Amino acid sequence: MSEPMLKVEGVQAKYGDFIAVADASLEVPEGMIVSLIGSNGAGKSTLMDTIAGLHKPSQGKIYFKGEDITGLSADKIVVRGLSLVPQGSRCFIRMTVEDNLIMGSFPKVVRKKCKDSLERVYELFPVLKQKRNDLSGSLSGGQRQMVAIGRALMTNPELILFDEISLGLAPTTIKDIYARIKEINKSGTTVVLVEQDTQRAIKTAKLVDVMLKGKVVLSGKPEELSDEDIKKAYFGI
Amino acid sequence: MQVIQVIINGILLGGIYALLGVGMTMMFGIVKLTNLAHGEFIIIGAYLSTVLANAIGVDPILTIIVTVPIMFLVGMGLQSGLINRVMKIGSEPALLVTFGLSIILADAMLLIFSADAQRANVPYNTASLRIAQGLNISVLDLIVFCISLATIIVLSIFLKKTYLGRSIRATSDDTQAASLMGVNVNRTYAIAMGIAMATAAIAGMCVSMKWVYYPSSGGNYLLTAFGVVVIGGMGSIPGTLIAGLILGLAQVIGGANYGQLIAYVLMVLFLAVRPQGLFSK
């Protein structure tokens, strides 16, 4: 079996003395959609932040495309092809939609492709082209999420981590965004989805990991995992 | 005609006020740092300009070709080597560092240049343009206004249209999201300080031509810069220009007796009624 695109080995991440991620390990094979599910406070977002370089791990190792990226800062990780769409979109609200997207082309390695990437994003989310000159702070929650996804795509990633992308969005918007995520994956980008909506996450993914109290306690293909197994792992019962 | 003259004088004065505040508003808006040494940076810019102009016998305006890059690099070094490290502990220690820095710089200038008053001599110091009967514009004031306006316009274009400018704006919005786009936040802070000091170099050159200055003059310009930042809105470059014009007009309308008073009453009013300033960020 070929080397996974992302490999997380025994990662621990803390906020002061509080251990948010205890001993998490997971593997993301190239080209797949992997869903990471778990209840509130399971440590999913902290794990994503740690992988993307926003949070330094206190233990463990993270490998991306076989290279050790443990403890590298976010600006150094993104140029290697790993991008995070953070929880709550985190758009630059005082910048226009287009300026937000162009910010995704900030790394020098992708600047030459800025124009093509921008067209690709506008094809994927036509509404963003219509609103290119609007401040992102004036957009709806769903549109902001599209900006955040588009911005991540502009970095030309090989792997995108989506953190709680459906949080607070209307069901029709969620459906639309998930359809786009599948398109992104089909074009060759590996995807990790962090979700609380277990049904949707399982339905979309080819591999599912369940986190509980800072650890990945269950892992497998959706068709191999029973509802009972997932429920037990999810709630720790 | 007298009213028009007052308005013109106020606008011209407002231009340099905006320039005094633009570096400070950048540091407020981007680095979230109250730079209490900004006044001293302006005076350093004034001394550098005067010394250089006298040494090589050129117009002080030309000295910015040398002083702007020097101050930019010093600013970057200062932010990377000192302030970024202190900011890891918190914003209050960083504030205290800039306060300490202002005292050190003022004392150092006193040692080097003595307490004697300085002013750059320019041939157009007293020249004026006659527009109509009883309506004149000081050539020096017009030049200083144009330099201030050009600086603010160039800075605005840089922030809006370049990758680096966008990265500075993005960092001021959300540091973590900016780093996810490949922005090195500490480096961006250093560049912001470099730009702030570069604008202080230009402001200092203008101050040296327009007013008499001493090593201890920094405090006065810091207060003016504060007024501009408070009225214009922290981090807003267009706000800086408008606030500068408001303060300039207030000062000229109030005259020698009430000018300062009106300006600071305005500042206090803004703090009480609209603390985010005119162009809130």
Which token pair is A161?
């981590």
- What are the Cα distances from residue A179, in Å, to A200, B118, B206? 12, 69, 58
Query: A198 pLDDT band (50/70/90 cuts)?
Result: confident
Question: What confidence score (pLDDT) does residue B134 get?
Answer: 84
Question: How high is the pLDDT of residue B219?
Answer: 94
Tokens of B9: 């004088």
* Alpha-carbon distance B24 to nearest alpha carbon in chain A (angstroms): 20
**From residue B74, how far is each of A230, B5, B81, B139, B198 by CA, in Å?**
58, 40, 10, 32, 9
pLDDT score, position A1: 56
Q: Distance between CA B168 and CA B155 in Å, rounded?
A: 12
Asked whether residue B281 is domain-assigned, the answer is: no
**Chain B residue numbers touching A115 (CB-CB < 8 A):** none
Cβ pair B170:A95 closer than 8 A: yes
Helices B38-56, B185-210: crossing angle, 10 deg rounding: 60
Contacts of A102 in chain B (CB under 8 A): 163, 166
The CA distance from B101 to B182, in Å, is: 32
**Alpha-carbon distance B189 to nearest alpha carbon in chain A (angstroms):** 15
* pTM of the predicted protein model: 0.92
DSSP-derived pairing of the beta strands A67-68 and A59-64: antiparallel
Q: Could you please report the per-residue DSSP string of B67-113?
A: HHHHHHHHHHHHIIIIIHHHHTT-HHHHHHHHHHHHHHHHHHHHHHH
Structural domain includes residue B120: yes
d(CA B15, CA A125): 44
B116 three-class SS: coil
CA distance B130 to A77: 62
Q: Give A-chain residues touching B185 at CB under 8 angstroms.
A: 75
The rounded distance, in Å, linking the Cα atoms of B104 and B120 is 24
Q: Which residues of B touch A (CB under 8 A)?
A: 163, 166-167, 169-170, 172-174, 176-185, 281
Q: Per the domain annotation, does B269 fall within a domain?
A: yes
H-type helices in chain A, by residue range? 44-52, 74-78, 97-103, 108-111, 114-124, 126-130, 141-154, 171-186, 198-204, 227-235
Beta strand pairing status for A59-64 and A6-15?
antiparallel
Banded pLDDT at A87 (limits 50, 70, 90): very high
Chain B interface, best mutation among A72, A92, A153, by max B CB count within 10 A: A92
CB contact under 8 A, B281 and A94: yes
Instruction: Give me the phi and psi of B276, to 5 degrees please.
Output: -80, -5
- Assess if residue B279 is contained within a domain: no
Does a structural domain hold residue B111?
yes
Phi, psi of A160 (to 5 degrees): -115, 135
Note the pLDDT of residue B281: 52
- The total of structural domains in chain B comes to 1
Task: Tell me the residue ranges of DSSP E strands in chain B.
Answer: 128-132, 135-138
Q: Burial level of A88, CB count in 10 A (0-12/13-18/19+)? A: middle
User: In this model, does residue A128 exceed pLDDT 90?
Assistant: yes
Write out chain A residues lying below 8 Å of B181, CB-based: 75, 78, 103-104, 106-107, 151, 155
With respect to residue B16, please indicate whether it lies within any of the assigned structural domains. Answer: yes
Q: With contact defined as beta carbons under 8 Å apart, do A6 and A33 qualify?
A: no
- Nearest-Cα distance to chain B for A226, in Å, is 36
Contacts of B183 in chain A (CB under 8 A): 75, 103, 106
Residue written as token pair 């004026």: B128
- Chain A positions with Cβ closer than 8 Å to B: 52-54, 73-75, 78-79, 83-84, 86, 90-95, 99, 102-107, 111, 151-152, 155
- Asked if residue B171 belongs to a domain, the reply is yes
Backbone angles phi, psi at B278, to 5 degrees: -65, -45
Percent of chain A topping pLDDT 90: 84
Give the nearest chain A residue to B173 (CA atoms): A92
B-chain CB neighbours of A111 within 8 Å are: 163
Q: Is residue B164 in some structural domain?
A: yes
Among candidates B173, B183, B281 on the partner chain, residue whose Cβ is nearest the Cβ of A75: B183
A11-70 pLDDT, tens digit per residue, is 999 999 999 999 999 999 999 999 999 988 899 999 999 999 999 999 999 999 999 999
Interface contact flag, B166 A91, Cβ < 8 Å: no
Q: Which range of residues forms the domain containing residue B218?
A: 2-273
CATH of the domain at B117: 1.10.3470
Of B125, B151, B130, B129, give the one whose Cα is nearest residue B140.
B125
Nearest to B179 among A73, A93, A151 (CB): A73
Which residues of chain B have a CB within 8 Å of the CB of A152?
180
CA distance A235 to chain B (A): 31
Residue B62 pLDDT? 97
pLDDT (tens digit, 9 = 90+) per residue, B70-112? 999 999 999 999 999 999 888 889 999 999 999 999 999 999 9
Q: B137 is written with which tokens?
A: 């514009």
| Helix H or strand E segment including A33 | strand A33-38
Which stretches of chain B score pLDDT less than 70? 280-281
User: Using one digit for the tens of pLDDT, what is the confidence trace for B180-214?
Assistant: 999 999 999 999 999 999 999 999 999 999 999 99
Per-residue pLDDT at B280: 66
